[in-house]
Chain A
């Protein structure tokens, strides 16, 4: 057995790969050979560490030393100082704020310190393309226990007792769903993993599939035994090439080891998994549309009941769970329902993964216990609002969710509390907004998305969302009439009530919650033709004030030549030519450019 004294874990999640982690890895390996350390230091590529904003990320073990934004040119110094001489390199460490000391270890960084990992426990610590590493970190122990020691009923009982609820958004009790499917009459049954993550800004499922694909596979085999099925499908969108690749590697390794396929672990149980790649239609995240897509038909929803547990794939009883739900299963079986239900709140057990994005200092992927407050997520983990702006709200649950405000910062993050406040847990997208965000524009952005993604099958969603969007367009362009707000509200209620599937039923949520908490902003747009946040381009203008020193920087950078003035003299914006791109505001060295209301 070869012993290494150091492991350098380099993140190879999509985020870090995009910022160049594979080049860094190559350089690291080269430099290690150059220093003669190839027998002492092992380089391991891992899944996403979650702190994507600071990528490429390298962690050195033992010691838990965390390096961020590592580039190729940093490598020779890093290898010589840390890997050879054992002196961690301060320049590459996380610095919490100006004039603060660098933080060497991962667990002392606020972003990591306040997280509690269950599903993502293996992120950043094992190589997702190597099944033996997964096995080494307690992988497939839950499966072994389920197949060798438990009856299907016992597995279902354990999942029911754990209190696990669907992580795809609606929060249906997982054990109950399994039981319904098991009791559904029929020889042939299926299970499906929903990996069709389509919310803008959400990447929880992608990250789980990339960082720990075997956890999903293991969860599904356990579920298959409980439900009594021999065939499963994992539905992933084609836009996730790395997730698809790692998943396929995991499936073939699991088959090779006898953990999938015929006679699993010699127990006589057969189960195989097929990957179904989706083309990226948002509606296919809705379970009945997804099942159609797996069957090779156009992905469109149908009315429920019958629910998939009675009539699913090819009319057979089918259990469909989200990626994160499946990935929770192995740990519950291994550690028991009691352990799992000790985490979280009374009705929401365990942890939840959120993708924390928007106007926040630390963006990335976070896993937290249910019951944590929004404030802890936004301020303790996220580090607060970037650029010292004022917090305005959080958009939770993507285009199907709602916006919560400052007054909700202390509510508990669990299914019931979020729904009560008008948002949803959703799959876990969390977009933080600051004072420079216009709520009307934000609502319009999400509605524009759902309107485009509406499959067109039912009228309320197809036409309703279109008409709502037209009203919002009028509002942001300053063409709205007094009664438009009332029309918008009525239409939103109708679309919510009468749409066929979850897409249409939730599409009005961003509009409804912004109307509930920020009606003033809508009124400013409609009655005063004014956008308080200065976002809606038709409702404000840029002017140059007398702070201008005549440096010409704005005029030289203006893409439409809409600024005139001579060196040393005050400049002026020609309003007719201005596209309000904001470049002048950004480049002005003396803050002489201001956004003001139209007269």
Chain B
């Protein structure tokens, strides 16, 4: 390893920040792939893998990819929810590898909702405050 000089630390910091960004709670966007039994049966794992690969390829260190349980609409799985900072969440249905890549490029990167795949905008109402 070459000895560092003033300024070199910033490069390591950049790299290390990307690998640890999940722990710094600094995300601009969060994609939740619904991985209930129904989702997994419908192919949610493939969606998740494709999404992670694409996020890695594009070095998107401010995007969190996560999973959650069944979203309730089992017939339209695989599903994913995209949340951009300060915007209401958008649910996408009947996903394929290609669709999720398009959603990543259009919605998450450029900020345009992909209407043709979207089911709804907003969260469900709950009894909790």
Contacts and interface: CB of A to CB of B under 8 A. Distances in A.
Given A39-B52, A85-B67, A265-B6, A1 B23 contact: no
Contact of A62 (B8, B17, B27): B27
Nearest to A84: B35
B13 interface: yes
B22 A85 contact: no
Interface stretch (B58-66, B94-102, B103-111, B116-124): B58-66
A429 to B, nearest CB: 30
Contacts of B20: 7, 125-126, 133, 136-137
B18 A257 contact: no
A132 B12 contact: yes
Interface string B1-36: 111111011001101111110111101001011111
B23 A7 contact: yes
A576 interface: no
A147 B4 CA distance: 13
A84 B35 CA distance: 7
Nearest to A261: B3
A137 B25 CA distance: 12
A59 to B, nearest CB: 9
B127 to A, nearest CB: 15
A141 interface: yes
19 contacts: A2-B56, A3-B56, A3-B65, A4-B52, A5-B22, A5-B66, A9-B23, A40-B49, A62-B23, A84-B35, A85-B36, A86-B32, A86-B67, A86-B68, A87-B68, A133-B20, A137-B24, A141-B9, A265-B5
Nearest to B16: A136
A141 B13 CA distance: 10
A3 B52 contact: yes
Interface residues of A, number: 41
Question: Which interface residue of B2, B13, B19, B23 has the most chain A CB atoms within 10 A?
Answer: B23
Given A1-B19, A3-B55, A3-B56, A136 B12 contact: yes
A140 B64 contact: no
A266 interface: yes
Interface of B is mostly: mixed
Contacts of B88: none
A148 interface: yes
Contacts of B82: none
A125 B16 CA distance: 13
A62 B66 contact: yes
Given A86-B32, A133-B16, A258 B23 contact: no
A3 B6 CA distance: 28
Contacts of A136: 12-13, 15-17, 19-20
Q: How large is the interface on B (under 10, 10 to 19, 20 to 34, 35 or more residues)?
A: 35 or more
Interface in A346-394: none
Question: Which interface residue of A61, A86, A141 has the most chain B CB atoms within 10 A?
Answer: A86
B48 interface: yes
Contact of A132 (B15, B48, B59): B15
Contacts of A1: 15, 18-19, 56, 59
Contacts of A126: 20, 23
B72 interface: no
A126 B34 CA distance: 29
A564 interface: no
B52 A5 contact: yes
A300 to B, nearest CB: 41
A125 B56 contact: no
Question: Which interface residue of A3, A126, A265 has the most chain B CB atoms within 10 A?
Answer: A3
A62 B64 contact: yes
Interface in B28-87: 30, 32-36, 40, 45, 48-49, 52, 55-56, 59-60, 64-69
Interface in A41-75: 42, 61-64
A258 B6 CA distance: 10
B67 A61 contact: no
Contact of B48 (A40, A61, A137, A144): A40
A64 B24 CA distance: 10
Given A3-B56, A5-B65, A136-B16, A86 B23 contact: no
Contacts of B22: 4-7, 61-62
